[in-house]
Amino acid sequence: MAQQFDVVVIGAGPGGYVAAIRCAQLGLKTACIEKWQDDKGKPVYGGTCLNVGCIPSKALLDSSHRYHDATHGLAVHGISAGEVSMDIPAMMGRKRQIVSQLTGGIAGLLKANGVTALSGSGRLLAGRKVEFTPQGGAPELIEAANVILATGSSPIEIPPARFDGDRIVDSTGALEFSEVPKRLGVVGAGVIGLELGSVWARLGAEVVVIEALPEFLMMVDQQVSKEAYKLFTKQQGLDIRLNARVTGTSVVDGRVNVTYLDGDAEKQESFDRLIVAVGRRPVTKGLLAADSGVNLDERGFVHVNDFCQTDMPGVFAVGDIVRGPMLAHKAMEEGVMVAERISGRKTQLNYDCIPSIIYTHPEIAWVGANEQQLKAAGTPYTAGVFPFVASGRAMAANDTAGMVKILRHEETDRILGCHIIGPSAADLVQQMVIAMEFGATAEDIALIVFGHPSLSEGVHEAALAALGHAIHIPNRKKK
Ligand code: FAD
Ligand code: AMP
């Protein structure tokens, strides 16, 4: 007889494993199917995020930042460190150790919560039946009262720059270089391209980023993206070419020759390696039988409503395979929402309050609406900006590039958005995520006591500036 579960989750990335754990916590008999294996055939949980995404990229960003600081940032403090060198295999070993500790941790958490972890691949059939094919085994049927699809995303490959796994690589390949390329090309100035470009630039590569769009970081508040462009090109050594579309590549004698259109002019570049980071697409191939009852939208994502319900009752989909930003924390919270809704709760996710972060240096982080969106919507607002150059804590840390910007509704005073470029932006923006979830006004933030000296004072001062009475910077004259 087919195995039966209350919930079967397909995929154990942040969307899937979190959904499975929460379902089990709520007393549902839960299985989680994952096909990822290590090179010894051992099941690996955690998906893109833990294996080849958030975690390994941040490990390399941290190592490379320390190296860059040791070579460029110590003299100002009066420290001379002698000759500093970088051991790339050691850096990679540390990264692998972090990944294996965390992925092993997820296996432990699934077990501790009573989730049945199934190693193999899953496919949704009609009537919420799941076909489970164990690694190297024959397909079996599983019956599920509910199914959660969480198969994630994979890198997009473009015809002019096909991956060869050696010289032309995707983000996964870019986390595995065994030496620092002398000259590195990056196609796409999105979040992943900038983060991975930064890693290798800090370690000494000459990095050229080729981006098709004429504007830099279009999804970011324009004041912040302009500042980022200035800082990345001047201070961080990234050569960012906008309005430049890659049209062809060839690998000759171990070098990648790239042709791109700069406006109308055809140009050439030659690199030791090329990272192609032009976005990711949902993984749905082979996942859905024709009669599964689940539909895709026009962009190939699984079609869901605000509660991640697909067109088939009892089948849900979360994370990168559904609309919305491809972010691990968005996937996780969708997983929690779905688990709780299956167990009868009315949990909702506030999609307007999902923070975004780019882990460059300085970091960029934001939540809510940006200035160009408010202008386009005709929303009356005022902006308050506090530059880190006026922050005692940032000065003490010799990390004064950037700003905190808060946008408030001119009539209700509600905080509409917060946009930060600067030290610890990821952690600072979370304060405003919490504030916005509680419907805070700029005055609420103004009346809160912030520890001194701290980078958080920048958030306080930006709120004060939006109200026109910042203390530590001059205020704009009232009209
Ligand atoms: P995934 O993590 O992709 O997991 C899906 C899982 O499903 C995989 O393990 C896959 O093997 C499995 N699977 C697929 N098909 C099947 C099947 N048929 N049967 C069984 N199993 C299957 N996000 C952030 O929030 N912060 C960051 O700093 C960040 N950095 C990133 C850096 C890089 C280089 C990359 C590539 C991504 C980064 N992301 C980051 C994005 C983040 O990794 C994803 O948004 C997140 O992993 C999505 O989670 P998910 O559960 O939807 O899918
Ligand atoms: P993201 O979707 O944030 O990962 O960013 C991917 C970036 O790659 C986008 O800004 C695209 O404009 C860019 N892009 C896509 N195709 C090309 C191409 N052929 N040449 C240069 N940039 C590209």
* Ligand 2 contact, 325 CB (< 6 A): no
- For residue 335, report the distance from its CA to the centre of ligand 1, in Å: 13
pLDDT 10s digits, 340-363: 999 999 999 999 999 999 999 999
**411 burial level (CB within 10 Å; 0-12, 13-18, 19+):** exposed
pLDDT at 245: 97
Ligand number with the minimum distance to the CA of 249? 2
Instruction: List, as one string, the DSSP characters of 287-313.
Output: TB-TTSS--B-TTSSBP--TT-B-SST
Q: Which residues pair with 268 in a beta bridge?
A: 259
Q: Phi, psi (5° rounding) for residue 76?
A: -60, -25
Statement: residue 150 has pLDDT above 90 = yes
By alpha-carbon position, which residue is closest to atom 45 of ligand 1?
327
Active site residue 361: no
Average pLDDT, the chain: 97
Q: Work out which ligand 1 atom sits closest to the CA atom of 171.
A: 34
Statement: residue 20 has pLDDT above 60 = yes
Statement: residue 322 has pLDDT above 90 = yes
The answer to whether 239 touches 233, Cβ cutoff 8 Å, is: yes
By alpha-carbon position, which residue is closest to atom 3 of ligand 2?
190
Q: Which CATH architecture has domain 168-278?
A: 3-Layer(bba) Sandwich (3.50)
pLDDT 10s digits, 60-76: 999 999 999 999 999 99
pLDDT 10s digits, 429-464: 999 999 999 999 999 999 999 999 999 999 999 999
How many C-beta atoms surround the C-beta of residue 390 within 10 A? Answer: 17
The β-bridge relationship of strands 153-155 and 265-271 is unpaired
| pTM exceeding the 0.85 threshold for the entire prediction | yes
Considering only CA atoms, give the Rg of the chain: 24
What is the mean pLDDT of the segment spanning 245-259? 97
pLDDT 10s digits, 39-48: 999 999 999 9
- For residue 256, report the distance from its CA to the centre of ligand 2, in Å: 18
* Ligand 2 contact, 279 CB (< 6 A): yes
- For residue 334, report the distance from its CA to the centre of ligand 1, in Å: 13
Sheet containing strand 206-210, edge to edge, reads 168-169, 273-276, 183-187, 206-210, 238-241
Pocket perturbation via mutation, ligand 1, pick of 54, 130, 176, 191 by most ligand atoms within 8 A of CB: 54
Assigned fold of 3-155+281-349: FAD/NAD(P)-binding domain (3.50.50)
Instruction: List, as one string, the DSSP characters of 63-100.
Output: HHHHHHHHHHTSGGGT---------HHHHHHHHHHHHH
Within 6 A (CB) of ligand 1 lie 10-16, 33-36, 47-49, 53-54, 57, 121-122, 150-153, 171, 192, 283, 287, 319-320, 326-329, 331, 359
List C-alpha distances in Å: 88 to 124, 195, 275, 375, 453: 43, 17, 18, 47, 36
Name which of 95-99, 171-175, 200-204, 261-265 the model is least confident about.
261-265
Are 3-155+281-349 and 168-278 the same fold in CATH? yes
Give the domain ranges of the chain.
3-155+281-349, 168-278, 353-467
pLDDT at 235: 75
E strand or H helix that includes residue 209 = strand 206-210
By alpha-carbon position, which residue is closest to atom 22 of ligand 1?
11
Q: Which CATH number fits domain 353-467: 3.40.50.300, 3.40.50.720, 3.30.70.240, 3.30.390.30?
A: 3.30.390.30
- For residue 210, report the distance from its CA to the centre of ligand 2, in Å: 8
